[in-house]
Amino acid sequence: MTASSELLRYHVHPTPTGVDWSRAACLSQFSFPWESTSPPQTEFRALWDDAYFYFRFDCEDADLVLPDGPTLKERVLGSDRVEIFFTPELTLNPYYALEMNPRGEALAYSARYYRQYDWEWSCPGLDLTACLQSGGYRVEGKLPMHWLRESGVLKREANEFYAGVYRAEFSHRADGSVHAGWMPWVNPGTEKPDFHVPSSFGLFTLCS
């Protein structure tokens, strides 16, 4: 297990007088660890105040894959999307996942290592919006700070927690099939694409 001191860190700055994204640090170190393709621009930002944890993804994407489907799960898992995972401990027992597409649909679930999913779980208080933009899309949302605490993700008196941020970058092949590319912030070092492992997480620090 990776020691906390060795994990990549992202600093979440406070936004005391309303959401001001100019205060947020831009995380753009997303990569394609499992293929040699140059990754499209992907930016993640987060802020916090006493009530909420705010997050935003800005994604360059010239070839959006947004299939229709009979269920939310099928639509989200078949789409270009961004993802955030949270966990109280790097054992991942449990962890919580939000997978969000450019339509503003969110597939929320909890799980236990390894890939033991609870699809009935929903994220209390999640507020999400998304929009298509010229050459890409944006996904923006907020979570109640009290949920981070009550779930054990943010420990009592702590100012940091384990999180992973990711992008599923889908594209159309010439034959009409879809290529799935996987872009983590933290390269988990796995042989095959896999975000559902402790080594894909970093630390989010709530700055004062």
Which tens digits make up the pLDDT trace of 142-193? 999 999 999 999 999 999 999 999 999 999 999 999 999 999 999 999 999 9
Tally of CB atoms within 10 A around 168:
21
What does the alpha-carbon distance between residue 117 and residue 106 come to, in Å, rounded to a whole number?
Answer: 16
Phi, psi (5° rounding) for residue 11?
A: -95, 120
| Total residues belonging to the chain | 208
* pLDDT-based confidence at residue 136 (cuts at 50, 70, 90): very high
What distance in Å separates the CA atoms of residue 142 and residue 19, rounded to the nearest whole number? 10
Cα separations in angstroms, 24 against 17, 48, 81: 13, 9, 21
Distance between CA atoms of residues 64 and 16, nearest Å: 35
Rounded to two decimals, what is the model's pTM? 0.97
d(CA 177, CA 25) in angstroms, rounded, equals 36
Host domain of residue 187: 4-206
Cα radius of gyration (the chain)? 16
With CA atoms as reference, report the closest residue to 166 among 200, 138, 142.
Answer: 200
- Output the pLDDT for position 1: 40
Q: How far out from the chain centre does Cα 92 lie?
A: 15
Q: How many domains does one find in the chain?
A: 1
Work out the mean pLDDT of the chain and round it to a whole number. Answer: 97
Give the containing element (helix H, strand E) for 57.
Answer: strand 52-60
Strand 81-87 vs strand 202-206: parallel, antiparallel, or unpaired? unpaired
Judged against a pLDDT cut of 90, whether residue 29 lies above it is answered with yes
DSSP-based three-state secondary structure for 66: coil
What pLDDT sits at residue 176? 94
Among 204, 172, 200, 205, smallest CA distance to 185 is for 200
- Count other C-beta atoms under 10 Å from residue 7's C-beta: 17
Residue 172 sits in a domain whose CATH number is 2.60.40.1190
The answer on pLDDT for 121 being more than 60 is yes
